[in-house]
Structure 1
Amino acid sequence: MTAGVFLYTFYELSSIVIRIVMLCYIPQRHSPTTAMSWLLVIYFWPWPGFLLYIAFGSTALPRERIERHEALLRTLTADRATFRRILDDESHWLPEELVRFGALGKKLGDMCITTGNSFVLIDREEEFLKSLCADIDGAKESVHLLYYIFALDSMTERLFASLEGAAARGVECRLLVDALGAKPFLKKDASRLRTAGVRVEKALPQGLLRRTATTARYDLRNHRKIAVIDGRIGYTGSHNVTEPSYGGKAGGRLWKDLSFRLTGPVVLQLQGVFMEDWYVETRELLPTERVFPRPERTGRAILQTVPSGPSYPLQNYQRLVVAALHGAKKRVVITTPYLIPDDELLHALETAALGDVRVQLVIPERSDQFLVGSAAKAYFDVLLDMGVEIYLFQDHILHSKTMTVDHSLAFLGTSNFDIRSFALNFELNLVLYGTDETSAIRMAQERYIAESRRLTAEEWSRRPRALRVVHGVTKLFSPLL
């Protein structure tokens, strides 16, 4: 037998073995939709598909990361005074029709309803950085930042200077960035901040086929965006720390974001999420008496933090969104840069629309990611048939992640409305309860709709056949995107 014949025989026999073994293994560990996508890849490309599954197939976290998460919860529970500041429930302030929903949010995200908050919505990168820098310049105790993308450029130079100035004043500055999203910063510019006295650490460090103590998968990322100053001022939303064209990534188009500047008790919940991520990555337990000051009531907003990610046993944010859709009575508006719904979200959208709820989706007309944008378009047919209104945001990349339900419930945060955000990434979202809170988000959504054009079913039915094929093929892989 020649070497060529031997290799061919080995490849064919091993391919059959891979198909059979994975057919038995994968369906036990994934939803039917995800399992079918993986099995399809492995059936046509056994060895490449098998290697891809080894690298990207499992969402399970290493035991050490789970143990660190549980250890921190035990520490906070033992410190009852601190624990009450973060997790004491104030759901009695909710309207009666939202009490059960608030309880669901607490059970899914381990964070209670907080009252006495105030917030300012920020929709421009310049304004976001100006406000954040001003708060860092006034910091007295600590500055804690957690971002997926963190870059040095002409617009963020001032933020670097503010961090350097804060560290020089003796303020404890900690910066945690995603190892993949902030990779250029970690290679080139992190040393500048470290030299100034800023603690810089990376979240989820990982090689393509290398496990670490905190992650087992290369594309499992920390997508959160959090800033907490002195435990009293917080920021979260869709803004990353970079100029709005992301270095010309989308041909000069700008990212359109929406974030909160927050004060009040909810800031301690953001601090708690940062504290957990910092502890998991560094094993440094921050002193609770310093990072959790007694909260000050600064307004009347009712807010709830919902962290999500693989460390939670359920796709908790997805379940909360689906529950809100099932409870909708009149109108739902969703804005997201990436729309790849799983079966539960798709059915909830369809059910709401069929129940005479006006459902409006606002997404970019041109995505910055071809595969994700193409897969999203594959769902347009069924959504339009069910009466969902689809608006295509013009000229730029709509990166704001929001949802409003009727006039008393709203969501804003870092999570896209796609399978990756629901099941894989570590995300952070806020739930807003009440008419004033919801109307603030709805006003921003109305501006997005005004800058969009509505896609009709008639127009969509006229798209070229080649596009139909492309959309259909990419849809098959949507659970993997």
Structure 2
Amino acid sequence: MSFDWMQGTWLLGVDWLIRLAALFWIPSRTTPAAARSWLLLVGFVPLLGLPLYLLFGHPWLSRERVRRQANASEVIRVEQAGMTALRWTPPADTEAAEVAPLVERLGDFMPTRGNSVQLLDHYDASLKVLIADIDAARERVHLLYYLMFDDPVGDAIVASLIRAAARGVRCRVLLDAVGAKRGLRRYAQPLRDAGVTVHDMLPGGLRWRRSGRMDLRNHRKIAVFDTTVGYVGSQNLALPEFVPGFPNRELVARVEGPVVGHLQAVFASDWYIETGERLDVAVTYPVSDADIVTQLLPSGPAYPYENARDAVNSLIHVAQRKLVLTTPYFVPDDATLSALRIAALSGVDVQLILSESNNQRLTAWAQESYYDELLRCGVKIALYRPHFLHAKHLSVDEDIALIGSINLDIRSFALNAEIGMLCYDRGVVGRLREVEADYLADATVLSLEAWRARPGWRRAREGVARLADSFM
């Protein structure tokens, strides 16, 4: 009995030691909101909560990766200094005059004129155009994607890369080690045998300590061909039904002009961060007669700030008339939630377009916990029905659009490497509004009264899921 008593006392002491250590340690290493979630978990199950926090609680990257990103950012800023003819200066007293300087300081890229932007809203057609551009490439093909599956789409992309390599095109492929695990397992060796260079990004296993926290991911979707064409958006390299029961709807921008060089620079930066190899990036790119102004916004834990969150919040704050946000995952932090509330209460027409179906159950429950507050302050919420709406974009008034891979959740803001492209152009915003109207035509519009009539057990489920927002 004495031994059992001593053992119980020892375990109780360890239990409380973990709780007290976490109380003083965790708040100093993470945001208050995230700290509350982790302290709650550690308080309930200390022996489980502490190991989980050590693995997933702090979005750390290796010092070498942070150093390489800083080096890449410096090169990008220096190279742009001599391109004054391409720089666009926004008119004073406009929304762009507030947003563009912030985005440049955060993500390094200046706004450039002389671009063309084609929005591709059809899944299969977008892939066909992408493969056609691979087949048309003469010097270089660079692909950077979060997800690639071993399915007919993967087969078609690989076949086009092998054809390109056979005619002497230099092909490089970067794929996220987790998101593209199936594609890497099936295609990496055949591609290498054909002369295509393939690297996985943020690898796990025994190599994870040389990269960063195990669940940090590169979520970007970028393609660059020669100096002529680039792609940025939400679409991965897989069939739309790669998650059974959730066929995806996406939005991709096919671009020409100086922005292609900027996409090339993002690819070269990620290549350097993963491999240590510095790629030669062409300095001059053909200017398009369309003369659309664009600006890239890369973000991720290698940067000093949460670029995506800060830029999105700035766009919300500058909106004066209409703001439309489309995202598959909506788990905002306090700053973003506050920005949306202020915009709606200030009289801005704020429309949030989400997917009625969702392949992430916990995320879906958590995002539902925000609906009551948003509806109460005047935010309109529409749930798109026909597909899993995986597109990620935002439009501000008639002048600014943001298109890319950025979700409106804490994971995209703090943990993933993401890419967005801002377009300061009424024509692009008008085209995007047509896409948004198409979503709304097939959507269920929520009302505050109907939402509050949901069962109590759903409210409880939403509240519990929301406590886990920092773990998503």
TM-score, with length taken from structure 2: 0.95
- Using a 3 Å threshold, how does the CA distance of structure 1 residues 348 and 17 change in structure 2: closer, same or farther? same
Counterpart of 2:137, as a letter, is A
Judge conservation of contact 2:66–2:303 (CA < 8 Å) in 1: no
Query: Is 1:260 equivalent to 2:248 in the alignment?
Result: no
Classify 1:89/1:3 alpha carbon distance in 2 versus 1 (closer, same or farther; 3 Å). farther
- Structure 2 Cα separation of the partners of residues 20 and 265 of structure 1: 54
Correspondence for 1:204:
202
Q: Distance in 2 between matches of 1:269 and 1:85?
A: 14
Aligned residue runs from structure 1 range 180-219, under 5 A? 180-207=178-205, 211-213=208-210, 215-219=211-215
Look up the match of 2:237: 241
In the alignment, the residues of structure 2 paired with residue 442 and residue 457 of structure 1 have an alpha-carbon distance, to the nearest angstrom, of 25
1:380 to 358, 371, 386: 371
* 1:412 has 2:403 as partner: yes
RMSD: 1.9
Whole-Å Cα distance in 1 between the matches of residues 83 and 468 of structure 2?
40
Q: Once the 2 structures are TM-superposed, how far is the Cα of residue 2 of structure 1 from its aligned partner?
A: 7.7
CA contact (8 A) 1:309 1:424 kept: yes
Secondary structure of 2:301's counterpart equals coil
Question: SS of 1:189's equivalent?
Answer: helix
Conserved? CA contact 1:264–1:299, under 8 Å: no
- Partner in structure 1 of residue 357 of structure 2: 366
Aligned to 1:305: 296
Q: Which residue of 2 aligns with 1:31?
A: 31
Letter of the 1:401 counterpart = K
Task: Verify the 8 A CA contact 1:26 1:35 in the aligned structure 2.
Answer: yes
Q: Is the 8 A contact 1:210 1:216 kept in 2?
A: no
Taking a change above 3 Å as real, the CA distance of residues 351 and 368 of structure 1, as seen in their structure-2 partners, is same
CA separation in 2, counterparts of 1:55 and 1:307?
25
Task: Determine if the alignment matches structure 1 residue 282 to structure 2 residue 259.
Answer: no
Cα pair 1:333 1:359 within 8 Å, conserved: yes
Alignment: residue pair count: 471
Q: Deviations over 1:147-168 (max 9, x none)?
A: 0001231234222111000011
Q: For residue 441 of structure 1, report the CA deviation from its aligned partner.
A: 1.3
**Partner of residue 45, structure 1:** 45
CA distance in 1, matches of 2:73, 2:356: 43
Deviation (angstroms), 1:460: 0.6
Contact 2:176 2:202 in 1 (8 A): yes
How far apart, CA to CA, are the structure 2 residues paired with 1:76 and 1:344?
A: 29
Equivalent pair of 2:73/2:108 in contact (CA under 8 Å): no
Match in the other structure for 2:87: 90
Contact 1:268 1:295 in 2 (8 A): no
Match of 2:433 in 1: 442
Percent sequence identity is 41
Deviations 1:334-368 (A, max 9, x none): 11000001000000100011011111111111211
Q: CA deviation at 1:480?
A: 1.9
The equivalent residue for 1:169 is: 167
User: Are the equivalent residues in 1 in contact too, given 2:258–2:284 (CA < 8 A)?
Assistant: no
Whether the 8 Å contact between 2:76 and 2:109 is mirrored in structure 1 is no
More displaced 10-residue stretch of structure 1: 2-11 or 37-46: 2-11
Deviates more, 1:436-445 or 1:46-55: 436-445
Q: Deviations over 1:389-410 (max 9, x none)?
A: 1101103200011111111111
User: Aligned partners of 2:84 and 2:309: how far apart in 1?
Assistant: 22
Paired with 2:143 and 2:187, the residues of 1 have a C-alpha distance of: 16
Displacement, 1:70?
Answer: 2.5
Rate the CA distance shift 1:87–1:364 in 2: closer, same or farther, 3 A. farther
- Please point out which of 121, 129, 132 is paired with 2:130: 132
Q: Does 1:223 align with 2:216?
A: no
Question: How far apart in 2 are the matches of 1:271 and 1:245?
Answer: 30
Q: Following TM superposition, by how much is the alpha carbon of 1:60 offset from its aligned partner in structure 2, in angstroms?
A: 2.3
In the alignment, the residues of structure 1 paired with residue 5 and residue 387 of structure 2 have an alpha-carbon distance, to the nearest angstrom, of 55
Mark the runs of 5 or more structure 2 residues left unpaired by the alignment: none
2:248 corresponds to which letter in structure 1?
Answer: W
Please report how far the alpha carbon of residue 19 of structure 1 lies from its aligned counterpart in structure 2 after TM superposition: 0.6
Tell me the alpha carbon deviations over residues 276-331 of structure 1, each in whole angstroms, 9 at most, x when there is no partner.
0001101111123xx44444334211110000011111112211111121111111
Please list the CA deviations of residues 186-219 of structure 1 after superposition, one character each: whole Å capped at 9, or x if unmatched.
2222212111111110000123x86432x22111
Distance 1:173 1:3 in 2: 67
State the AA in 1 paired with 2:454. R
